Amino acid sequence: MIKKLKIGVIGCSQIAENSVIPAIKKSEFSELRHIGSRSNQKGEKFAKKFYCKNFGDYNDVLDDEETDLVYISLPVSLHEKWAIKAMKSGKHVLCEKSSTISFESAKKMIKNAKENNVRLMEGLMFKFHPSHSKIIELVNNKKIGKAFSFYGRYGFPPISKKNIRYNKKLGGGILNDAACYPISASRLIFQNDPKSVYCSFNMEPKTMIDEQVSLNLEYENNQSAQIVCGYNLLYQNFYSIWGEKGSIKLERAYNIPPKMKPVLTLETNKGGNKQKLQSANHFVLMIDKFCNQINKNEKRINFEKDLIIQAKILEAARISAKKNRIINLSEIL
């Protein structure tokens, strides 16, 4: 008998509407229990759209004793407050990326998860797409020899300066919004965490958010990751791994529509080939995985450790950009 977890949603964002709530509805391990919005009108609209009988403000979601898990889809600067309130009310938390605006904030969230004996996961859904497992398999089987370099791009055409991504107080900026994806992808592929970070920002002069970012992450074993992300650019969404004997490139790496079969290109000294990989809904797979972890149906994955390390890398990037020097992760305490 499958135990379905009842999920409450805090924040009626675009990603909640277009991707995560439909995934909650589609997953066999979850059901939509409650919609929370700061606007009663928007909450009611979402509730009607997704056939959810319970809606109200954020606190109404937390006060609902039948809610097991809360999905937080708010601006980054609000994640800590509402994640901690949710955990103190005994709810597990799935928090939109990036989890926080600072390493200190992330530490507070982790502390509260432990104190309240609940699980906490950052919603980097792309990691659950099977295309990355295929690439890890190729790397582990030495199809390109020793992997030397990861290169990732994620960039977007111009968006309105009124968008929350350009609001500094709400945690806007490309580092929190998009660079988190290739950073996480490099960790996934190298199956390790970087030793140091060098980061530079191009700041948007009116809003003073990081509009473009360049990062260099140094790993053990002479491995490194180069990452470039930004707004106001030609759309880019890929990563590649370069090795002694070849290279692998994955198109549409970070946000893959459910019906899309991502294209993998493998090039070696013997030639190259392209193949279309399996399509999948990585949002559904993320919900499935988190629910199964909460229900202890499989070996425990330390999502909390992954969140804190990711937050530490982003913190090192911010400090590096400010001080214009390489920051070792060991400096971030």
Q: Tell whether 306 is covered by a domain.
A: no
Domain tally for the chain?
2
Q: Judge if 255 and 162 occupy the same domain.
A: yes
- Cα–Cα dist 150/241, whole Å: 5
Q: Judge if 150 and 289 occupy the same domain.
A: no
pLDDT values of the chain reduced to their tens digit, one per residue, 333 residues: 678 999 999 999 999 999 999 999 999 999 999 999 999 899 999 999 999 999 999 999 999 999 999 999 999 999 999 999 999 999 999 999 999 999 999 999 999 999 999 999 999 999 999 999 999 999 999 999 999 999 999 999 999 999 999 999 999 999 999 999 999 999 999 999 999 999 999 999 999 999 999 999 999 999 999 999 999 999 999 999 999 999 999 999 999 999 999 999 999 988 889 999 999 999 999 999 999 999 998 999 999 999 999 999 999 999 999 999 999 999 999
Q: For the segment 24-77, what is each residue's pLDDT rounded down to a tens digit?
A: 999 999 999 999 999 989 999 999 999 999 999 999 999 999 999 999 999 999
- Cα–Cα dist 26/242, whole Å: 37
Q: Which residues contact 86 (CB under 8 A, 6 or more apart)?
A: 10, 62, 70, 72, 93
For the chain, how many residues are written?
A: 333
User: What burial class does residue 51 get, using C-beta atoms within 10 Å of its C-beta: 0-12 exposed, 13-18 middle, 19+ buried?
Assistant: exposed
CATH code for position 160 = 3.30.360.10
Helices (H), 191-302: 282-294
Q: Tell whether 177 is covered by a domain.
A: yes
User: What burial class does residue 2 get, using C-beta atoms within 10 Å of its C-beta: 0-12 exposed, 13-18 middle, 19+ buried?
Assistant: exposed
Q: Judge if 134 and 209 occupy the same domain.
A: yes
Strands 236-243 and 224-230: unpaired
| Angle value at C-alpha 216, between 213 and 222, nearest 5 degrees | 165
Q: Tell whether 307 is covered by a domain.
A: no
Q: Judge if 14 and 119 occupy the same domain.
A: yes
CATH code for position 33 = 3.40.50.720
Q: C-alpha 144: how far from its chain's center?
A: 27
Place of tokens 């969230």: 109
User: Is the pTM here over 0.85, yes or no?
Assistant: yes
What's the pLDDT score for residue 1? Answer: 67
Q: Which residues contact 101 (CB under 8 A, 6 or more apart)?
A: 76, 77, 80, 171, 176
- Cα–Cα dist 39/253, whole Å: 34
SS3 assignment for 297-323: CCCCCCHHHHHHHHHHHHHHHHHHHHH
- Count the Cβ atoms, other than its own, within 10 Å of residue 228: 18
Which strands, in side-by-side order, build the sheet including 5-10? 55-56, 30-36, 5-10, 69-72, 92-95, 120-122
Question: Residue 238 is part of which domain span?
Answer: 130-280+312-331
